[in-house]
Chains A and B, each alone.
Chain A
Amino acid sequence: MTRRITLDQQSEALARRRAELGERVPKVPANGGGRRTVSKLALLDRLDALDAASGQPPKFIRNR
C-alpha cells in the first residue's frame, strides 16, 4: 500500500526516532552529497585520461 506523508509528519517522525535513539543517533558526515559530486567529476576526468592514453576522443562533453 502506497504511504502518504507530509514534510511536517516526516520531521515529527524523525524527532520521535531521535528521542528513542538517544545517544545512538548516528553520526554521519555533514555533506556527503557534495563530495560525491566532486568524485563523480574526478571519475569522468580519469575516464577521459584513459581514453586519451589509448588514442580515443573523450566521451564526456564539458562546458569549458
Chain B
Amino acid sequence: MTGAPPSGFRPEFTEALALLARAFDMVVAGGHARPVLVGGASVEFYTGGAITSGDFDVVTGAQAALEAALVDVGFRREDRAGHLLRGLYHPTLAMGVEIVSGRLFDGRTDRSRLLLVDVGGHELALPPIEDMIADRMGQHAAYERGVPEMLQQAVALFLLAERIDRTYLDKRIREETADRFGLADLLLEAADDSSDHP
C-alpha cells in the first residue's frame, strides 16, 4: 500500500486489494496467467464502494499456485466454525476469497479489454466493466421474475462508468442473457439519454 486509501473505497477493501495484487504477481512470477478478480469485489471497485462485498471471487487456472500465494500474504484456508470448508479468509480484514475454476465468463470476455489495476506496485486484473454489467444483467435474467438487486447493480455500473463501449456491451448483455435483454433494455432502466458516455 502506498499512502492513505483513496476516498470512496473502504480501507479494508484497499488493504485486501493490495494483498491480492501481491498474490496475483506471485502467481504470474510462477509462470501462470494473471488471475482475474470478478464478482462483488469487482463491482465494488467499479462503483467506488457504492456497492460493497464481503467476498473476493477470483478466476484462475492455477488454483494451487494462487492458494499458496494467498497463504503467503496472510490469508488462511477456511477453518472457522459454521463456514463452508472452501476458500480462504483473512483473519483481520473480514474478507474471504473464493477461487473459481474455468474460463473467465466461459471464454466470452475479450481478454484484450481486461483492466489492470496498479495497487502499491502490484497488479490486479479485472474484467472490463461491460462484462460486469452483462454479468449482472445475466443474473437478473436467470429468473423469470428477475432479480431487482442485480438489475440495480447493472444500472449503477453503467451510470458510474466514465467510458463504455456500447457495441461490445450490447453483444455481451445478449450473450449473458441468452438474448433476453440487450443494451436498449439497460438504457431504459437507466433512463439514459444516450448522450452521456463518450
Which A residues have a C-beta under 8 Å from some C-beta of B? 1-8, 10-11, 13-18, 20-21, 24-26, 28-37, 41, 44, 60-64
Contact = CB atoms under 8 A, between A and B. Distances in A.
B159 A30 contact: no
Given A5-B118, A10-B117, 7 more contacts: A1-B112, A2-B112, A16-B162, A17-B160, A21-B160, A26-B156, A61-B84
Nearest to B193: A24
A28 B114 contact: no
B13 to A, nearest CB: 10
Given A7-B5, A7-B9, A28 B50 contact: yes
Given A6-B117, A14-B48, A15-B8, A28 B153 contact: yes
B82 interface: yes
20 contacts: A3-B116, A4-B123, A7-B5, A7-B119, A10-B45, A11-B6, A16-B162, A18-B160, A21-B159, A26-B50, A28-B47, A28-B50, A32-B149, A33-B41, A37-B55, A44-B84, A61-B84, A61-B85, A63-B82, A63-B83
Given A7-B14, A15-B8, A26-B155, A32 B53 contact: yes
Interface in B44-63: 44-45, 47-48, 50-55
Given A33-B52, A37-B54, A37-B55, A28 B152 contact: yes
**Range, interface on chain B:** 35 or more
Contacts of A44: 84
B81 A28 contact: no
Interface string B50-82: 111111000000000000000000000011111
A14 B159 CA distance: 10
Contacts of B132: none
